[in-house]
Amino acid sequence: MIKEFLKKFRKKSPWLLHYNAGSCNGCDIEILACLAPKYDLERLGVKNTGNPKQSDIFLVTGPVTKRSRERLIELYSQIPEPKVVVACGSCTSTGGVFRGMYNVEDGIDRYIPVDVYVGGCAPHPEQIIDGVAKALGILEQKTKEIEYPKKLMGEITEFEGQTDKTKMAGKI
Amino acid sequence: MSWLLTIFAPIIGGLLYGIERKLKARMQSRKGPPIIQPFYDLFKLTDKRPMILHSYHAFMGVMHFVAAWVALSVLFFGGDLLVAIFFHLLSTSLLIVAGYSAKSTYSRIGSTRELIAISALEPVLILTAIAFYLHTGSFEVSKIINSDSTFGASFIGFLALLVVLPGLLKKSPFDAAEAHQEIVGGAEIEFSGIFYEAVYTAKWLDMLFVFTLVFLFGGSNFVLGAVLAVLAFFAVLLVDNSTARVRYSDMVRIVYSVAFTLAAANIILGVMA
């Protein structure tokens, strides 16, 4: 019963972690516009924490450059469950205009499981808010089971109840 | 009454924090979260999967909260003002110890800055307590609230306390120790889930502690005390919204040259009068 009671509050105070995986800053500016006076996501309890250990929603922009993928996985595995991932923008969802280029990976879903894709280059603030709202619905359904990133360079193993990250990034 | 105040201190502090967030949003012409938003955050943090660095780090976080609560209860039970201030100092130092125990750069930078900050802020608090002693003849809070208002007599001391308030509440311009855009929370960065909850709640208790200190300036005139506390609350918010962060070294310089000087002058004037 207590569990059911606590579950209700997940969508009332979602804290955001915004990560730029090599984006052109277009999406980042739109995300900031969501937090600014006109749209004011804070009225829904959303707070931009910038700290993975205290976040619920992982908002990623950019087509994952090769340098940023280690950090992407590192940040993802530092967020305690329940957590949701929102891919914000065309690049993040599919690679966008950069798809197939030598220096990018096509979208974040090669590395981490994504819950909501928000299209557009750059997406409107309304679209981002809609995506976040959809993600909140998913967040409420999630369990506290550990979620793993997809395979990167080495095998993903478990060590003392936590994901062992030493082999994950491998050598780049 | 003191029991009730002490037990419900986190709830009062949470509401205060909620009001603060709302007012801050209104000052920026945003709509702002509901007033009970801090409690939503609290319940959500309980529901997260526990993740700790090591047990000592988590334990120090919880003790930080307990010490902050004890400091507040000393004030509410009418105990010694100096004891309350020392417990407040202890609570901050426990967070600093926790910050140093983590193998994390931001955590350690935050702890170092916090250490520098309290070396500047705490002397002013103690001088404020001495000013209370000079004008009421006692360090006991129960005697202070039964004697005449010390606001007129130690007006300069009140100004000094007003200058250090943003530092004690970790608000701009003196928020170098927390610096959310720069070192992502400093000493509290490695806490998560239910242990961050302790640190988060300790923040509300700190706020309540500081404004209770301001309230004491009213003495037996509770209306004056309440007015002073509310005015200080607004002043701190306004300053928080309209100033940029200063470097920690500049903060020490400003606090020592303005607040410490004012507080010391207040003591000298009190002795001479």
Q: For domain A2-164, say whether CATH 3.40.50.970 is its number.
A: no
The pLDDT value given to residue B65 = 92
Q: What mean pLDDT is reported for chain A? A: 81
pLDDT tens digits along A23-43: 888 888 888 888 888 888 888
Grade residue B233 by pLDDT with cuts at 50, 70 and 90. very high
Q: Average pLDDT in the B139-155 region?
A: 80
Residues of B with CB under 8 A from a CB of A: 21, 25, 28-34, 37, 40-41, 43-51, 180-181, 184-185, 189-193, 196
Q: Give me the phi and psi of A87, to 5 degrees please.
A: -90, 115
How many Å lie between the alpha carbon of A119 and the closest alpha carbon of chain B? 27
Residues 6+ apart with CB under 8 A from B91: B64, B65, B67, B68, B71, B202, B206
Least Cα distance to A130 among A90, A88, A170, A67 occurs for A88
Percent of chain B with pLDDT over 90: 22
Number of other CB atoms surrounding residue B26 within 10 Å:
12
The pLDDT value given to residue A172 = 42
pLDDT tens digits along A156-167: 566 666 666 555
Residue B255 scores a pLDDT above 80? yes
Q: Which residues of A touch B190 (CB under 8 A)?
A: 53
- Whether A9 contacts chain B with CB within 8 A: yes
* B240's tokens: 């928080």
**Where in chain A are the domains?**
2-164
- Whether A142 contacts chain B with CB within 8 A: no
Least Cα distance to B229 among B165, B171, B168 occurs for B165
Question: Which CB contacts under 8 angstroms, 24+ apart, belong to A168-171?
Answer: A168/A73, A168/A77, A169/A70, A169/A73, A169/A74
Are the Cβ atoms of B25 and A42 closer than 8 angstroms? yes
Are the Cβ atoms of A40 and B25 closer than 8 angstroms? yes
Residue A170 scores a pLDDT above 60? no
- Nearest residue on chain A to B186, alpha-carbon basis: A51
The pLDDT value given to residue A171 = 46
Are the Cβ atoms of B48 and A146 closer than 8 angstroms? no
Total of domains in chain B: 1
Are the Cβ atoms of B47 and A40 closer than 8 angstroms? no
Environment class of residue A79 by beta-carbon count within 10 Å: exposed (0-12), middle (13-18) or buried (19+)?
Answer: buried
Is A54 within 8 Å of A84 (Cβ atoms)? Answer: no
Of A4 and A56, more confident: A56
Residue B207 scores a pLDDT above 50? yes
Grade residue B231 by pLDDT with cuts at 50, 70 and 90. very high
Q: From start to end of A11-91, where are the E strands? A: 15-20, 47-48, 57-61, 84-88
Q: Which residues of A touch B105 (CB under 8 A)?
A: none
Best of A2, A4, A12, A78 to disrupt the B interface (most B CBs within 10 Å) is A12
Q: What mean pLDDT is reported for chain B? A: 87
How many Å lie between the alpha carbon of A10 and the closest alpha carbon of chain B? 5
Of A164 and A93, more confident: A93
Number of other CB atoms surrounding residue A161 within 10 Å:
7
pLDDT tens digits along B63-88: 999 999 999 899 888 888 899 999 99
- Nearest residue on chain A to B47, alpha-carbon basis: A6
The structure tokens 């997406």 sit at A123
Q: Average pLDDT in the A95-121 region?
A: 84
The pLDDT value given to residue A162 = 65
Among partner residues B32, B37, B180, which is closest to A13 by beta-carbon distance?
Answer: B37
pTM listed for this prediction: 0.85
Q: Average pLDDT in the B90-116 region?
A: 89
Note if the bond before A82 is cis, omega within 30 degrees: yes
Q: Which residues of B touch A6 (CB under 8 A)?
A: 43-44, 46-47
- Say whether B163 sits in a helix, a strand or coil: helix
Are the Cβ atoms of B44 and A9 closer than 8 angstroms? yes
Which residues numbered 38-57 in A keep a CB inside 8 Å of some CB on B? 40, 42-45, 49-51, 53-54, 56
Percent of chain A with pLDDT over 90: 2
Residue A169 scores a pLDDT above 60? no
Residues 6+ apart with CB under 8 A from B184: A49, A50, A51, B106
Determine which of A57-61, B107-111, B135-139 has the lowest per-residue pLDDT on average.
B135-139
The pLDDT value given to residue B156 = 87
Among partner residues A15, A37, A50, which is closest to B184 by beta-carbon distance?
Answer: A50
Are the Cβ atoms of A10 and B49 closer than 8 angstroms? no
The pLDDT value given to residue A92 = 87
CA atoms within 13 A on the CB side of B30: 22
Interface TM-score (ipTM) > 0.90:
no
Are the Cβ atoms of A81 and B189 closer than 8 angstroms? no
Q: Average pLDDT in the A118-122 region?
A: 85
